[in-house]
Amino acid sequence: MALDTDSRRIYKGVASRTAKNGYRPDLRADAVSRVSAIRNSQRPKKDSPPTKLRGAAARKAAEKASGEA
């Protein structure tokens, strides 16, 4: 399961493979959602944006701290 492969193609492959191999049709959606969860876990995480200072007092404290350092 390469990450550059289209998600729809992977899901279609899982659904058709389970259908051809005689798995229960009511479990097909569960198999696709399981593959989706695995695929999401393999995706690299985004960097979180820097936290914003909220309020005048917080900005003033940050300026004071950066002036001391």
Q: What DSSP letter does each residue of the chain carry, written as one string?
A: --TTS-HHHHHHHHHHHHHHTT--GGGHHHHHHHHHHHHHHHSPPPPPPPPPP-SHHHHHHHHHHHHH-
pLDDT at 5 over 80: no
Q: Is the pLDDT of residue 44 over 80?
A: yes
> pLDDT, tens digit, for every residue of 21-34?
988 989 999 999 99
Q: How confident is the model at residue 8 (pLDDT cuts 50, 70, 90)?
A: confident
pTM: 0.55
Q: Structural domain boundaries of the chain? A: 1-43
pLDDT of residue 58: 87
**pLDDT at residue 1 greater than cutoff 70:** no
